[in-house]
Structures are given as structure tokens and as C-alpha cells.
A and B are shown apart, each in its own frame.
Chain A
Amino acid sequence: QQQVKQSPQSLIVQKGGISIINCAYENTAFDYFPWYQQFPGKGPALLIAIRPDVSEKKEGRFTISFNKSAKQFSLHIMDSQPGDSATYFCAANRSYNTDKLIFGTGTRLQVFP
């Protein structure tokens, strides 16, 4: 119940295309769902996050879609750029009683010109 399952493991997209990464969880007590972006040689950094009271959150070209009934959430990168090439991690936690995050296994995104 503590796992967050992420897919795909790797993704290759052409410049200008849409990148979609999916995550699923089991624990209905989770109430905070962030996405982290990690460039080679760097630590992960928070990209965007959502709480389950909304179904979508958009920041620039990055959108989180959240489906509470299906216990799934996804990251959409519109107009993907070579600079978006990185590893993306979804995560979840029960923010009311812990500061620990449970991370997915990561998706390596490569955007080709």
C-alpha cells in the first residue's frame, strides 16, 4: 500500500511532441503528489505538485492530471524540448502526519531535435 508505481521506465519523444508519464498508488490516505525533475549530475528538484482537491494543475508546458477514483496521476509535457531531457520522479505522501515522500522508480525522458 506504500508503493507508487511509475511508467514507462524510459521515453523517447521528438521535439515539439507531448511526453506523458504515469503513476499509480494504492494508499487512499495520500494527499500530496509532487513531480521531481533530475538532470544528469544534479539532485532532483521539485517541478510541480498537486493535491487531490483538483483534477489538473498547469505550470507553463507542464501539467499534472489527477484521477482520484482511479488512484492515478500523470505528468504531461507539452511541446517537449531537448532541454526537458531528464529523469522524472513522481511521489506521494500523507502530508497530515509525515514529511516523508514515497517515490516512483523514475522515467528517463529523451527529447530529440
Chain B
Amino acid sequence: DVKVTQSSRYLVKRTGEKVFLECVQDMDHENMFWYRQDPGLGLRLIYFSYDVKMKEKGDIPEGYSVSREKKERFSLILESASTNQTSMYLCASSSSGTGQHEQYFGPGTRLTVT
């Protein structure tokens, strides 16, 4: 059974803290994604990685950075958390094979910044 796991389901952090969200996939997928989900705004892409150490900005990268040192792991970093980063964060992975576009999502991390 394919699996994408995220390190925490719920996280509460203070303004200004550095926050790490971890994502691990066991499907040997080349692509990994970080989204944030907010009511009425859908899923917005923060960053995308198509290979180890490779990354590409998504639609809303400001205030975030990412790290992909191993194929199976993709980390999202909030350098200095702010209240407007309170959200649900979803990680996903997909294969880059021809015709293979299905993204597999983790259960999400609900982050609250106070």
C-alpha cells in the first residue's frame, strides 16, 4: 500500500519560531510537493521538487523554504513563523513516468501559529 507520511498531525508554534514539517514517501517517487489548504482557496502549491536537491517555487513560496537531501524525504521550513501561516499543510508525491500524474497525499499537518 502506497504511503505518504507527515511528521505531525497537529502543531502549535509561536510567532518567530523556526518550524520544520517533514514528509516521507515509500513509493520511490521522483516528484514531491508541499501545498497549503485554506477554506475557499483550495490547494495552493508552495514548493515542488522533481529530484534530490532540486526544487522549484510554486505559487506562494514567500516565507517558506524546502530541503530534499534524500529521495524519500521532503522538508518544508518556515524560517520565522507568522500568524498568517496558520493553515493545513499537505505533502504529496508522484512518479515522473510517462502518463503517471497521480499525486498521493499525506494526511496533512494542521499548523497553528500564535
How many chain B residues sit at the interface, stated as a range, is 20 to 34
- Chain A residues near B31 (CB-CB < 8 A): 99
Query: Quick one: given A44-B105, A45-B105, A99-B101, are A6 and B42 in contact (CB under 8 Å)?
Result: yes
Which of B14-22, B60-68, B79-87, B88-96 faces chain A? Answer: B88-96
- B41, B43, B58, B101: the one within 8 Å of A93 (CB): B101
Interface size on A, residues (CB 8 A): 21
Query: Quick one: given A34-B101, A99-B31, A101-B103, are A44 and B41 in contact (CB under 8 Å)?
Result: no
- Chain B residues near A89 (CB-CB < 8 A): 42-43
| Residue of chain B at shortest CB distance from A32 | B101
A113 proximal to B (CB < 8 A)? no
Number of A-B contacts (CB under 8 A): 53
- A100 and B107 contacting across the interface, CB-CB below 8 Å: no
B interface secondary structure, majority = strand
- A45–B94 Cα distance when bound, in Å, is 12
B77 proximal to A (CB < 8 A)? no
| Chain A residues packing against B (C-beta within 8 Å) | 6, 9, 32, 34, 41-46, 49, 89, 93, 95, 99-101, 103-106
A6-B42, A43-B90 known, 5 other contacts, Cβ within 8 Å: A41-B107, A43-B105, A45-B105, A99-B101, A103-B42
Q: What are 27 A-B interface contacts by the 8 Å CB criterion?
A: A6-B42, A9-B40, A32-B101, A34-B102, A43-B105, A43-B106, A44-B43, A44-B90, A44-B103, A44-B105, A49-B102, A89-B43, A93-B101, A95-B99, A95-B101, A99-B31, A99-B101, A100-B45, A100-B58, A101-B101, A101-B103, A103-B35, A103-B43, A105-B40, A105-B41, A105-B42, A106-B40
